[in-house]
A = this chain, B = another copy of it.
């Protein structure tokens, strides 16, 4: 391996820049040429490729977003698109590719690596933390801390008014942000896609709280919860408890931005560093770099799929008890 390329794809996640920096500098240190591809697979197809060096990634470790930008790209799902991408790589004599993104990104890389015999490495960059083969994904810790600080602020005003707040956090298929931010802010209820929601139970609990004069309640809802999101939960609750002072807050895209936390920066740095080494050593080609039990671990790209739910049921018991 002499010339490698890196791209970010899918939804952006804080820490992606730290990963790019690690890849460029590790590559340069070991005498590789490192190319940055703009706009994910779309830029690969269109040849938006530039050479990077140590200076290109100076002072970005603390920046949210991704300097390589990202995009979703339908063309890369078709053979023709991938062939054009391959031609671009040939043009630059790139013989190793690192993609940072989620399971869709990995699926593309897997197919691509099979078809054109280009070694690909994946880095899990998604705030949702729902990829098999790693305990953490780049961006999750930052996103959940952003959610926690936002909900702390909401609690200030909830306490001032004795209000019920229904806060929607990101997580279409996975409830980790909701679960972690809910526990960390002392939320009274947490609604997740991984577990059926019985709104009636919540309404009963709210009424029980009311009887003991506890009027401040926070419900954290993952956007992918089957209940239909915060607005729908609020609608049902207002119908049955019209005398509650109920408000909705949808945190939205603030969860994607901001300076990454220490954990995300280190995670991204380690993964980027390991990916380049793996490309060079040739031992774990076409794998995703994960961190499991604080050790780097490689998972074949075809297995680095959306994780099936793995939330310890005892955590739900704990939420109930700690918010009591």
Tell me the A residues contacting B by CB distance below 8 Å.
8, 12, 14, 16, 21-22, 25-26, 28-29, 54, 59, 61-66, 69-71, 135, 141, 144-150, 152-157, 159-162, 165, 180-181, 183-186, 247-259, 261-263, 265-266, 269-270, 273, 293-294, 318, 321-324
Contacts of A251 in B (CB 8 A): 254
Distance (Å) between the CB of A286 and the closest chain B CB? 23
Q: In the complex the two chains form, is B253's CB within 8 Å of A69's CB?
A: no
Given contacts A29-B321, A322-B25, contact A262 B153 (CB under 8 A): no
Q: In the complex the two chains form, is A253's CB within 8 Å of B141's CB?
A: no
Given contacts A148-B262, A184-B265, A252-B249, contact A157 B12 (CB under 8 A): yes
State A21–B150 Cα separation when bound (angstroms): 21
The chain B residue sitting closest to A163, CB to CB, is B253
State A63–B162 Cα separation when bound (angstroms): 17
Contacts of A153 in B (CB 8 A): 64, 146, 253-258
Contacts of A261 in B (CB 8 A): 145, 148, 261
Q: In the complex the two chains form, is B322's CB within 8 Å of A26's CB?
A: yes
Distance (Å) between the CB of A254 and the closest chain B CB? 5
Contacts of A256 in B (CB 8 A): 153, 156-157, 160
The chain B residue sitting closest to A72, CB to CB, is B161
Distance (Å) between the CB of A175 and the closest chain B CB? 14
State A257–B156 Cα separation when bound (angstroms): 5
Q: In the complex the two chains form, is B250's CB within 8 Å of A184's CB?
A: no
Q: In the complex the two chains form, is A161's CB within 8 Å of B70's CB?
A: yes
Q: Is the interface of A mostly helix, strand, loop or mixed?
A: helix
State A27–B196 Cα separation when bound (angstroms): 28
Taking A26-B321, A141-B263 as given, write out 5 further A-B residue pairs in contact, using a Cβ cutoff of 8 Å, ordered by the A residue number: A62-B152, A65-B156, A69-B159, A160-B256, A263-B263
State A250–B229 Cα separation when bound (angstroms): 15
Q: In the complex the two chains form, is A161's CB within 8 Å of B262's CB?
A: no
Q: In the complex the two chains form, is A266's CB within 8 Å of B156's CB?
A: no
- List the 6 closest pairs (A to B, CB-CB), nearest first: A153-B257, A156-B257, A64-B156, A12-B160, A65-B156, A184-B265
The chain B residue sitting closest to A28, CB to CB, is B324
Q: In the complex the two chains form, is A269's CB within 8 Å of B322's CB?
A: yes
Q: In the complex the two chains form, is B150's CB within 8 Å of A254's CB?
A: yes
Distance (Å) between the CB of A190 and the closest chain B CB? 12
Contacts of A71 in B (CB 8 A): 161-162
Given contacts A162-B69, A257-B152, contact A183 B266 (CB under 8 A): yes
Contacts of A149 in B (CB 8 A): 259
Q: In the complex the two chains form, is B254's CB within 8 Å of A155's CB?
A: no
State A217–B251 Cα separation when bound (angstroms): 20
Distance (Å) between the CB of A33 and the closest chain B CB? 16
Q: In the complex the two chains form, is A253's CB within 8 Å of B154's CB?
A: yes
> Residue A144 contacts which of B247, B253, B262, B324 (CB distance < 8 angstroms)?
B262
Contacts of A270 in B (CB 8 A): 318
